[in-house]
Every structure is written in structure tokens, then in C-alpha cells.
């Protein structure tokens, strides 16, 4: 039956055309890990970059404090893995007015940010180092803190927690 053979060949050709059309149309827009030439790619404007990197709040301009360092905290290597020890010591006691020096000995950036976790409404309002790069240090000023106990955490890894006691 020749009609069946012709129909079969026509279907094969149609299938081939469909494949070619799909390939030409869509192979550029499938997301591929590492491929930056995506159809959806948009270059960031300076405004986008600024919006994604808000400046630290005025109350936490702690990096510039010139107060004497009253306590030092180390962020331990491996701190980014949940369950590992993170801040050392994880309870920091400091005299009001003295600065706390924080050194990141891990291989990824961390912060020391007031608040129990990122959902705490006061998070980052009392102190926030913002990101501390590996091997870098930051300072937290305590001059504006009243005596008391302040939980802190890392905004990148909220399971990294500690407690600051201001006397
Ligand atoms: Cu962290």
C-alpha cells in the first residue's frame, strides 16, 4: 500500500523538521550551568548592584571605631558547616565602650550580626559587621549598647550563633 509508505516518510520528514526547528529555537535558552549566554541574561545596572549591597546602617558603623579592643572573637575554620563550632568564644563579655575584634579564619565570608536569627525584627540594628572576608577582621562598637545580653548570628549561616554580654 503506497499511501502508508508515503505517510511514513512524510511523518519522518515532519519529525526531522520539528527537531531542527526546536533545536534552532530553543537550544540557546535552555539554562545550562555555567553558561552565561542565556536568553534571559540581563546585565546588572549600578542601581541593581547598589540595591543588592545596601550600606550598613548608621548605628553599625562599627568598622571605624577607635575604641580599645576589649574582646576578640575568632570565626573558626569550618564554621559554615552546620554543627561545627563557629564563634570562639561563643559567649563574649565586654565592657561597654570597648570594641570587639572579629577575625574570620574560615574560607568563606561570615558576619556577626545582632539578633537571634534573621527573622528577629532587631536583626542588624544594634551591630552588624556585614560580610567579613576570609582572613579579614572587623570590629563591633559597644558604645551605643546598654549593659545587657545580646544574641548574635551570622546572616549567611543563621545556625552560627553566639551571645554578647555588655557590662
Ligand atoms: Cu557564616
Give the C-alpha separation, 119 to 3, whole Å.
70
* Strand residue runs (E) in the chain: 69-75, 87-88, 91-94, 99-104, 113-114, 137-140, 148-153, 161-166
Q: Distance, CA 106 to ligand 1 centroid (Å)?
A: 9
**pLDDT computed for residue 44 by the predictor:** 84
Q: Distance, CA 52 to ligand 1 centroid (Å)?
A: 18
For residue 106 the three cell numbers come to: 574560615
Domain boundaries, the chain: 2-41, 57-166
Q: Distance, CA 154 to ligand 1 centroid (Å)?
A: 5
Digit-coded pLDDT (tens) for 73-127: 999 999 999 999 999 999 999 999 999 999 999 999 999 999 999 898 999 999 9
On whether the CB atoms of residues 162 and 90 are closer than 8 A, the answer is yes
**pLDDT computed for residue 62 by the predictor:** 47
Give the C-alpha separation, 165 to 85, whole Å.
19
Digit-coded pLDDT (tens) for 116-161: 998 989 999 999 999 999 999 999 999 999 999 999 999 999 999 9
Class of the domain covering 57-166:
mainly beta
Q: Distance, CA 79 to ligand 1 centroid (Å)?
A: 7
Q: Distance, CA 124 to ligand 1 centroid (Å)?
A: 14
For residue 167 the three cell numbers come to: 557590662
Q: Distance, CA 32 to ligand 1 centroid (Å)?
A: 29
Digit-coded pLDDT (tens) for 28-43: 666 677 766 666 777 8
Beta bridge partner(s), residue 104: 75
DSSP H/E element including 8:
helix 2-26
Q: Based on DSSP, count helices (H) and strands (E) in the chain, helices before strands.
A: 2, 8
Amino acid at each position: 500500500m503506497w499511501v502508508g509508505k508515503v505517510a511514513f516518510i512524510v511523518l519522518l520528514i515532519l519529525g526531522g523538521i520539528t527537531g531542527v526547528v526546536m533545536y534552532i529555537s530553543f537550544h540557546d535558552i535552555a539554562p545550562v550551568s555555567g553558561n552565561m549566554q542565556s536568553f534571559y541574561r540581563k546585565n546588572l545596572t549600578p542601581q541593581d548592584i547598589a540595591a543588592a549591597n545596601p550600606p550598613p546602617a548608621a548605628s553599625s558603623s562599627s568598622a571605624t571605631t577607635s575604641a580599645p579592643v576589649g574582646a576578640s572573637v575568632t570565626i573558626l575554620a569550618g564554621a559554615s558547616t552546620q554543627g561545627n563550632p563557629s564563634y570562639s568564644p561563643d559567649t563574649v563579655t565586654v565592657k561597654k565602650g570597648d570594641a570587639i575584634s572579629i577575625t574570620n579564619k574560615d574560607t568563606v565570608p561570615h558576619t556577626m550580626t545582632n539578633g537571634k536569627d534573621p527573622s528577629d525584627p532587631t536583626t542588624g540594628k544594634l551591630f552588624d559587621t556585614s560580610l567579613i572576608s576570609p582572613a579579614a577582621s572587623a570590629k563591633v562598637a559597644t558604645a551605643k549598647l546598654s549593659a545587657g545580653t545580646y544574641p548574635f548570628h551570622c546572616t549567611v549561616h543563621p545556625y552560627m550563633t553566639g551571645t554578647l554580654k555588655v557590662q
